[in-house]
A and B are shown apart, each in its own frame.
Chain A
Amino acid sequence: MATRYLILEDGTSYKGKAFGSESTTTGEIIVNSNMLGYQEIITNQIYHNQIITFTQPSIGNTGINHKSFESIITNAKGIIVREYSNISTNRLGNLTLDRFLKQHNIPGIAGIDTRELTHRIRRNSSMKASIVDVNDEHAFDQLNASVLTNQQVKQVSTKAPFPNTGDGYNIILIDFGLKYGILRRLAELDCNVIVMPWNTSNKEIMDLDPDGVILSTGPGSPKDLPESVLNMIRETQEKIPMFSMGLGHELFALANGAETYKLNVEHHGSNHPIRQIITNQIIYASQSQGYAVDPKSIKHDQLLITFVDLVNGTVQGIRHRDFPSFSVQFSPDGGPGPEDTVDLFEEFLENVSSQRR
């Protein structure tokens, strides 16, 4: 195993061992504290532009399996682990994490003190990092000069609509970086789903005779998307029940006059207590967020806060007062993470059923 280096914007350099792709990479470095579900994490489109540090020290222990994809095209920029295992569990017995990363051109680096790295990332705010062969001045110069794209949604969203057929309600799913977990949960509920590109207009949605609309999770800042998306949301929520999550939730808030901001430290994990305001229950959910809705900006005559993260105080859910639309910051489908919140899909379908004429 070749020696490679992880270098950070703050000038730190780590020596580690290469695995996965041998390419050089640059991205924003983040920490994910889920203990299981590395495949779901690596394949989540939300990590477009990002290098993922796993706090769980041993990654790759269950190989790659067909049930754990959150997307087939994988866009994470790199992964950092203490240690990885070369285990395959697929029927051909040939697909290890290492091989999967090679196939998708994702470099990995192992042998890193990820606990120290986690402490460092939590002390600094957002940092860029590179995985390189040589940790010389040139590499740091390149890292500092690199500019990460803000066109992530355009890059990951489907170019053409596609269906996921079912016998039940007709749900339009707007793809900002589709997470397959959403499709799985809707399939369990027999929905007929049509996945549409990120820039779909209200008219295009209405032409498909929808029962409900879902705005998916996705990468990057909600403010990088044009006003047309917010217009689509405003026009749609008046007519059709809507359920938004992650980036979709941030866009839903923006469309209704609230503001969003970038978190100092991104949160990726499923260990935070989240209070459901109405029941006073505390639940746990799969969270991966770099942005949050500013609670002070919420117009209380329009929106109601439904969930709050008890660790960092971020808004985790809102509901529209006038329309049957609500949103959550976390991934209600889990994958990876708790199933405490999957019944939100049923709640959405209840909205759908009561609206349906």
Chain B
Amino acid sequence: MFKHEIKKVLILGSGPSSIGNETELDSAAFQMMVALKKNGIKTLIIDNNPFSLTMTEVQAANTFVKEINLKNVLEVLKKAKPDAIIPTVGGLRAIHITQELLNQGILKELNVKIIGISEAALKTVNDSNRMKTVINQSNEPCIPSKIVNNESEAFDVVRQIGFPIIVKPINQKDSAKRRVCKNTDELSYFLDNSFNDQNKKFIVEKSVVGFKQIEMVGIRDENGTKILINGLENVDAVGVHSGDSIVVSPIQTLTDIEYQNLRTATFKIMENLEIVGVCHLQFALSTKDNLYFITKINPLVNQSTAFSARATGYPLVYTCTNLMLGKQLNEIQLPEKYNHLTPIMEPSLDHVVIKIPIWPFENIPQASQRLNTVMKSVGSTVGVGRTVEEALLKALRSSQFSPRDILPSMKNLDNDELINRLIHPQSNRLLVLIESIRRGYQVDDLEELTKINKFYFYKLKKLLEIEELIINHPMELNTIEHAHKFGFGDGMMAETWHIPIQKVREIYHQYNEYPTYKSIESSAGELKQNIESFYSSFEKENESYKESQKTALVIGRGGNKLGPNTAADYYTAEVLIQLHKLGYKTVVMNNNPNAVSLSPQISDKQYIEPIQLGDILNIIELEEPVRVFVPGNRHFLMKQLKKYKELNVQILPPDQDTGVILPKNVSYALNFFVTNENNYFISSEKLISNLNNDLDHVTNYEMPYGDIDDNQLIQNIKESYTHIDKSNWIGLVQILFNEKNNGESEYVGIRPLRLTETIFLSKATGINWIRELVKFYTKRFDSKIIDELNTNQDRIASMRATFPFKQLNLYIDHGNSSQEIGAKLKFRLKD
């Protein structure tokens, strides 16, 4: 039932990264584009995120670098005349624009279809009344609530739904006045102080704070076949945003009866909304009273659906793209490596995947670290293992607490503060939980204080027992075996025993003990398929073998955090794509569930592992790569890796620490491509600082720098050459200048071109400089590319960093470059 009339579609991009929108939408858009291409459909995209891989991979003629808003989308629709638009990989912004286009009748007028989301589902997004109607129509429970005009009405409602309740003013902006009331006194007190204004209305709602938080991800085809892709268990209870909670998949602490109730509820909602594609639901569940409520319906791609695809190995985006084109689940032709039955088998896992959030408070200390219903984390890492302990510890080792691969301690926290943090969750939640067990708190008490299922405390306890074993029985094979099974790394043992990591490895290697790698696939070992996504375990059977004689290993950046953030992941993905084009078999190591670099189409093999030395060496020993690339700054790791002389390691860009920056202000820069033989000038760049021309506060960029006159430029280039020659650097190099008040310019520094600016340079010049770097380091660089540089450009590119201040409820005008979360790209004609 392929819809032949659709030949050209417009994807609404996701825009600059922000809290809750990392690279998962870009990754989905990219995979969608690949699937569309297979179906002979042309993809157009509108986006202004310079770090979008999809934008790079869609032909330049089909990309529209514009801010994603109603006006611009409309313009593109009129100009490019697509047959359909896809709003499901662009986040809420794309949904709102599509809602607007639909409401204004524009789509009908232009004869453009919406695909990927049904009209009913589209209208439900962010409309709580409509969501309630849908839930009621489906005979499923939503959180009971009622509008009240006075105190006696409020008490009437309470008699029906019982305490605790949340009372909130009807005016959403008045959010400060939201209050949880646990009993009559609290409610009376609150209302006495609030109903002084006669016209005021309140919503009284049953409070589900402390309930278990469960998420379900399902898909449905046009024929009504429904599959539950994944269930996600939030370790933190309702009250903490699921993006800020530790998340476990598959669900561990529900009975089958509870689980099936939620599965059935998910399907009823999907049926009601006539979903064709993916739908994500959230539930609040009280195990005690066997009670649950549907709290959110998201008929679109988001971090939970991305996590589900990563956790199950189910080709979610590929399948959903085919579904939205009208195919049925049993008709979908997957790429060859998959078993043909995979799309229609309901995933069953024989591994555990755990996600840990990463918060930005190190870079933005002003923000409140209290976790609540508004998301604050900017990234996450996952651990995959055969047990909950193994997955949990690997996730923790992947998160960026510990470059040295040790378990960080919170022993400085005093007891009152510890209890306070147990009750009122803050960032680094897992470390606080571990500390409380170290101090001997009882599991039942901890469950009561934290509302976290005791199952998880038993697991943490087990991990601490193994830690004890490591401390008390050093350098024994038995210790190492136990430690490995529970996810501990060689680096941690080396640190504890004060010996080099290589010594630890020798102890178990002499007994011929090596990790086994297991496939992340969705049939629990039932189907034969060649899925190239693996995690390590120390077990009997290994499923991953050396990929080829010419393998390149790319070590990903791990979870996103502020600073280079999503640019680093884009960069990693580009390096992989380019290495593949140069004939390498590519292997990537990463642990960010949202990473575009982990999309299955981008590399030949993926390892979801902690980025720690021991784990890297394990993969190097198995794959024997001829080259290792490390995009992004990992100083500690690089120093360690460099010790292994036989490895052909290349860090990209070279270590920023080695840059020479004079303590002066900066206003523009010249960028060069430096080879052993030659220095090639590429572009001038205006560096715009929001604070005193201070380099750290440069967060806006323009290329080329329009105000520089030719003579000065020539002189600056000449000067740059001497600095470059002195530095012995190769690759992309940036020379920094400052324009003094008298109009003269002075040299202020030299540094390797940063990740973000390398990407910007590519966008501005139309030449993929990551490709050229990869070629250069693999000795394939051809200087002819320099001839393609258009020196007479009539347009100026600008890149402006974006910050998460507003989302963190802060009123800060300007940030520094370590606080960047994303960026906006724009082109304008030279004046």
Q: Residues on A close to B: CB < 8 A?
A: 14, 31, 33-37, 39-40, 55-58, 61-62, 65, 67-68, 82-83, 85-87, 113-116, 118-119, 122, 269-273, 280-282, 284, 310-311, 334-340
List 21 interface pairs A-B (beta carbons < 8 Å), by A numbering: A34-B256, A34-B348, A35-B250, A35-B251, A35-B348, A56-B524, A61-B455, A62-B253, A62-B255, A67-B255, A68-B256, A87-B458, A118-B350, A118-B524, A271-B524, A272-B345, A273-B344, A284-B227, A334-B256, A334-B260, A336-B256
Of A14, A86, A334, chain B has the most CB atoms within 10 Å of the CB of: A334
B344 with A282: CB separation less than 8 A: yes
Taking A14-B540, A82-B386, A116-B541 as known contacts, 5 extra A-B pairs with beta carbons closer than 8 A to each other, sorted by chain A number, are A56-B250, A62-B254, A115-B524, A118-B350, A335-B257
A281 shortest CB reach to chain B, Å: 6
Chain B interface residue count: which class? 35 or more
Q: In the assembled complex, how far is the CB of residue A226 from the closest CB belonging to chain B, in whole angstroms?
A: 35
CB contacts under 8 Å to A, within B332-357, are 341, 344-352
How far is it, in angstroms, between the C-alpha of A80 and the C-alpha of B738 when the chains are bound? 70
Instruction: Check A114–B255 contact: CB distance below 8 A.
Output: no
Contacting residues, chain A, for B351 (C-beta < 8 A): 57
Nearest residue (CB) in A for B253 is A61
**How would you classify the secondary structure of chain B's contact residues: helix, strand, loop or mixed?**
loop
Query: A115 and B345: CB pair below 8 A?
Result: no
- Docked Cα-Cα span, A58 to B253, in Å, equals 10
CA–CA, A337 to B349, complex, Å? 14
Q: How far is the CB of A82 from chain B (nearest CB, A)?
A: 6
Residues on B with beta carbons closer than 8 Å to the beta carbon of A271: 345-348, 523-524, 526
> Contact: B540 with A310, CB < 8 Å?
no
Contact partners of B458 in chain A: CB under 8 A: 85-87
Contacting residue for A311 out of B252, B260, B345, B518, CB 8 A: B345
Listed residue (B341, B348, B524, B541) with the most chain A CB atoms within 10 angstroms of its CB: B524
Q: Which of A82, A115, A335 contacts B256 (CB 8 A)?
A: A335
Chain B residues closer than 8 Å to A83, beta-carbon distance: 386-388
User: Which single residue of chain A is at the shortest CB-CB distance from B537?
Assistant: A113
5 shortest A-B CB distances, which residue pairs?
A: A37-B256, A116-B541, A336-B256, A113-B540, A55-B524
Contacts of A273 in B (CB 8 A): 225, 329-330, 341, 344-346
- Which residues of the other chain, A, contact B523 by a CB distance below 8 angstroms? 33, 271
Q: Do B250 and A337 touch (CB < 8 A)?
A: no
On whether the beta carbons of A282 and B346 are closer than 8 Å, the reply is no
Alpha-carbon separation in the docked complex, A85 to B541 (Å) = 24
Tell me if A's interface is mostly helix, strand, loop or mixed: loop
Give the nearest-CB partner of A63 in chain B: B255
A115 to B521, CA, bound (A): 12
**Chain A residue at minimal CB-CB distance from B344:** A273
- Tell me whether A37 and B223 are in contact (CB under 8 A): no
Residues on the B chain within 8 Å of A272, using CB: 345
| Pairwise interchain contact B255-A65, C-beta atoms closer than 8 A | yes
**Cβ of B255: which chain A residues have Cβ within 8 Å of it?**
36-37, 39, 62, 65, 67-68
B525 beta carbon closer than 8 Å to chain A: yes
The answer to whether B346 touches A55 (Cβ under 8 A) is no
Give A113 to B523 CA distance when docked, in angstroms. 16
Q: Is B20 an interface residue (CB 8 A)?
A: no
Query: A61: which B residues are within 8 A, CB to CB?
Result: 252-253, 455
Residue-by-residue, is B259-277 near A (CB-CB < 8 Å gives 1, otherwise 0)? 1100110010000000000
B645 to chain A, nearest CB (A): 36
Closest to A86 in B: B458
Residues on B with C-beta less than 8 A from A338 are 260, 263-264
Q: Which of chain A's residues have a CB closer than 8 A to the CB of B156?
A: none
List the B side residues contacting A114 at CB < 8 Å.
Answer: 350
* A-facing residues in B204-231 (Cβ within 8 Å): 223-225, 227
Q: Is B454 within 8 A of A87, CB to CB?
A: yes
**Taking the complex as formed, is B513 at the interface, i.e. its CB lies under 8 A from any CB of chain A?**
no
Which residue of B is nearest A119, CB measured? B525
Nearest CB of chain A from residue B542's CB, rounded to whole Å: 9
Cβ of B465 within 8 Å of any chain A Cβ, yes or no, is no
Q: Are A55 and B348 in contact (CB under 8 A)?
A: yes
A33 with B524: CB separation less than 8 A: yes
Is the beta-carbon distance between A85 and B455 smaller than 8 angstroms?
A: yes
B341 touches A115 (CB 8 A): no
Quick one: which of A57, A281, A310, A334 contacts B350, CB cutoff 8 A?
A57
The reply to whether the CB of B739 lies closer than 8 angstroms to some CB of chain A is no
If A61-B253, A116-B540 touch, whether A284 touches B260 (CB-CB below 8 Å) is no
Known A56-B350, A115-B541; judge A311-B341 contact (CB<8 A).
Answer: yes
Chain B residues at the A interface, C-beta cutoff of 8 Å: 223-225, 227, 250-257, 259-260, 263-264, 267, 329-330, 341, 344-352, 386-388, 454-455, 458, 516, 518, 523-526, 539-541
B264–A36 touching, CB < 8 Å: no
Residue numbers in A under 8 Å from B387 (CB-CB): 57-58, 82-83
Are B348 and A33 in touch, CB under 8 angstroms?
yes
Give the complex CA separation of A58 and B260 in angstroms.
Answer: 19
The answer to whether residues A337 and B541 also contact, given A68-B255, A122-B526, A273-B344 and a CB cut-off of 8 A, is: no
Q: In whole angstroms, what is the CA distance A35 to B248 when docked?
A: 13
CA distance A178 to B352 in the complex (A): 33
Chain A residues in 8 Å Cβ range of B341:
273, 310-311
Which residue of B has the minimal Cβ distance to A270? B346
Q: Could you tell me if B254 and A36 are in contact, using CB atoms closer than 8 angstroms?
A: yes
Task: Name the residue in B256, B347, B516, B539 with the highest tally of chain A Cβ atoms < 10 Å from its Cβ.
Answer: B256
Q: With a CB–CB cut-off of 8 A, which chain A residues contact B330?
A: 273, 282, 310
Q: Out of B455, B525, B539, name the residue touching A55 (CB < 8 Å).
A: B525
CB neighbours (8 Å) of B254 from chain A are 36, 62
By a CB distance below 8 angstroms, the chain B residues around A33 are 348, 350, 523-526
Known: A68-B257, A85-B458, A115-B539. A310 touches B344 (CB 8 A): yes
CA distance A8 to B600 in the complex (A): 37
Q: Are B388 and A58 in contact (CB under 8 A)?
A: yes
Q: Closest B residue to A284 by CB, please name it.
A: B346
Min distance, Cβ A262 to any Cβ of chain B, angstroms? 19
Q: Which residue of chain A has its CB nearest to the CB of B350? A: A55
* Minimum C-beta distance from A58 to chain B (A): 6
List the B residue with the shortest CB-CB distance to A275. Answer: B330
Q: Contact between B348 and A337 (Cβ–Cβ < 8 Å)?
A: no
Query: Residue on A with the closest CB to B540?
Result: A113
Docked-complex contact A58 and B541, CB < 8 angstroms: no
* Chain A residues within an 8 Å CB radius of B227: 284
Give chain B residues whose Cβ lies under 8 Å from the Cβ of A68: 255-257
C-alpha gap A119/B516 in the complex (Å): 15
- A143 shortest CB reach to chain B, Å: 20
Kindly provide the distance from the CB of B11 to the nearest chain A CB, expressed in whole angstroms. 29
Contacting residue for A58 out of B252, B257, B267, B329, CB 8 A: B252
Distance to closest chain B CB from A253 (angstroms)? 25
- Contacting residues, chain B, for A86 (C-beta < 8 A): 458
- Chain A residues near B525: list those with CB within 8 A: 31, 33, 55, 115, 118-119, 122
**Chain B neighbourhood of A284, CB < 8 A:** 227, 346
**What is the distance, in angstroms, from A89's C-beta to the closest C-beta of chain B?**
8
| Contact (Cβ within 8 A) A339 B329 | no
How long is the Cα–Cα vector from A280 to B255 in the complex, in angstroms? Answer: 31
Residues of A within 8 A of B259 (CB): 36
In the complex, what's the smallest C-beta–C-beta distance from A36 to chain B, in angstroms?
Answer: 4
Q: Hey, which chain A residues are within 8 Å of B345, CB to CB?
A: 271-273, 311
B344 and A36 contact, CB distance less than 8 A: no
* Contact present for A113 and B541 (CB under 8 Å): yes
Given known A36-B256, A273-B345, contact A281–B540 (CB-CB < 8 A): no
Instruction: Report the minimal beta-carbon distance from B214 to chain A, rounded to whole angstroms.
Output: 12
How many angstroms from the CA of A284 to the CA of B523 in the assembled complex?
14
Compute how far the CA of A180 lies from the CA of B584 in the bound complex, rounded to whole angstroms.
Answer: 58
Considering the chains assembled together, what is the distance between the CA atoms of A113 and B385 in angstroms? Answer: 12
A315 to chain B, nearest CB (A): 18
**B640: shortest Cβ distance to chain A, in Å?**
31
* B-side contacts of A34, CB under 8 Å: 256, 348
- CA gap between A26 and B288 in the complex, in Å: 39
Report A-chain residues with C-beta under 8 Å of the C-beta of B329: 273, 282
Q: A271-B347, A282-B344 are in contact. Are A339 and B260 (CB under 8 A)?
A: yes
